[in-house]
Structure 1
Amino acid sequence: MPNTPSSPSTTVVRDTLHTQVVGLLRQRLMDGSLAPGSKLNERVLCAEIGVSRTPLREAIKQLATEGLVTLEAGRGAFAAAPSRDDIEQTFDVIAVLEGLAAERAAQRMTEGALAELQALQYDMQAAFERRDLQAYYAANARVHDLMSESAGNAVLRQTWQQLNQRLHALRYRSNQDETKWRRALAEHAEMLLALRQRDGAALRRLLEEHLRRKRDAVLEQFSP
């Protein structure tokens, strides 16, 4: 009997399930519920999330491409555990990339994008006041993404996206110290002001300093 193609509704359901499983696992990896270096136990995760092994394994493969999971032949999947050198070097490079993108974005960003950034700043402030780190990170991630997008350089954006995937969990956890979180929020307000003034040089400096402080905050948490 010939195979019957999946209907559009079936495809949507599958895509939605995949997206949900990826999102749930990504959040656990980012907030440390799945600790760096820990093995992803498929049986336990399937029971907790309520899915079969097929969508779970598909999600794990995607997260491996993002650098959040490492796959070891014969051993399984593990939450990524970057070394101290990996952390330091990756942050150093992405600081330069984001700084360049921000400098270019200062001259190219539309008024609509500026208005979105202002709204995101309000969202981050509200999330901080609620101590809602997940909501804060979502808005924060969009800020950095929007500046990268507004640079108008496809090669720069693609390179940044590939590298940034490796830092999601580290950037998320860098704000778990409330004092550093408050400071990061204030730094974003300064960056928004420089962007409104179209001061690309100042924005580049502020963003590079911001990311290097992120690097230092992450390294403080690192257990040698």
Structure 2
Amino acid sequence: MTDETSFDDRAAESPILRRSLHDETVARLRDMIIDGRLAPGDRVNEGDVGRRLGVSRTPMREALKTLAAEGLIENVPGRGAVVRAFTRDDVFDMLEALKIIEQEAGRLACARASDADIASLRAVHDRMMQLYAVRSRLNYFKLNQDIHSGFARISGNATLLWAHESIQARMKRIRFVGNGSEDKWAAAVAEHEEMIVALEAHDGDALAEVIGRHIDRTWVRVQDALPERASAAPAEEPLAS
């Protein structure tokens, strides 16, 4: 199993909390979906997967309900719980929405965030870079997602944060796939470096620009791994700002 130790430096400054069985089961299943051990379209056999995780059917069922609410699992008649498979159209639409939300979150964060908020996000970024240096891909990805959520969190707009989280939950596997090769991963890292510099400079327009560019390139990075539809957006089409 993948090491699930949290690498968030902020954890060192807070009490150690024991996660509930439900939370731990959800986290493990989510990781299995993100890194492809449970692939899109796979049926999740409660008994088999539960034995692998060392839990009974009851916590498995409750965890699957949570992941269904997040949009990572769907219940298919005759098959039961199945890992949701997104088409190109689905992903394009979600990335388009995330681009709009994250760009505005970045502008608001630059205008409203405290120095402590920005320092906290810089600490997450720096730890993420350490994980990139040792190629700890899944743990890097978790902090990467914390940074994207962090822009929304420090924007000071709770509704914007809610909207961002509801879409990002569905995009975890897709965004993970986007860093599947060394060159793609390096390009994404360079864009994150630009983001944190713009945030520290309180330059909302610069942050919005690099976020937009980052998400446009995310689409280019992931689209070949997705099933096509007749109406799928072409590779060169930029996402609307």
Would the TM-score normalized by the shorter structure come out above 0.5?
yes
TM-score with structure 2 setting the length: 0.84
Which one has the largest radius of gyration? Answer: 1
Structure 2 residue corresponding to 1:118, chosen from 122, 125, 128: 122
Kept in 2: contact 1:99–1:204 (CA 8 A): yes
Structure 1 residue corresponding to 2:184, chosen from 161, 180, 193: 180
The aligned residue for residue 127 of structure 1 is: 131
Pairwise CA RMSD: 1.5
Structure 2 residue corresponding to 1:138, chosen from 142, 150, 153: 142
Q: Which runs of 4+ in 1 moved over 3 A?
A: none
Q: State the secondary structure of the residue aligned to 1:35.
A: coil
- Give the Cα separation in 1 of the matches to 2:156 and 2:218: 25
Q: How far is 1:75 from its partner?
A: 2.3
TM-score with structure 1 setting the length: 0.90
Write the mapping of 1:27-106 to structure 2, written as runs, cut at 5 A: 27-106=31-110
Kept in 1: contact 2:149–2:164 (CA 8 A): no
- Give the Cα separation in 1 of the matches to 2:82 and 2:203: 43
Identity %, equivalent residues: 34
Q: How far is 1:208 from its partner?
A: 1.2
Higher helix share: 1
Q: State the secondary structure of the residue aligned to 1:78.
A: strand
- For residue 129 of structure 1, what is the amino acid of its counterpart? A
The aligned residue for residue 158 of structure 1 is: 162
The aligned residue for residue 215 of structure 2 is: 211
Q: How far is 1:33 from its partner?
A: 0.7
The aligned residue for residue 169 of structure 1 is: 173
Q: State the secondary structure of the residue aligned to 1:40.
A: coil
Q: How far is 1:123 from its partner?
A: 1.1
- Give the Cα separation in 2 of the matches to 1:129 and 1:221: 25
- The alignment covers a number of residue pairs equal to 212
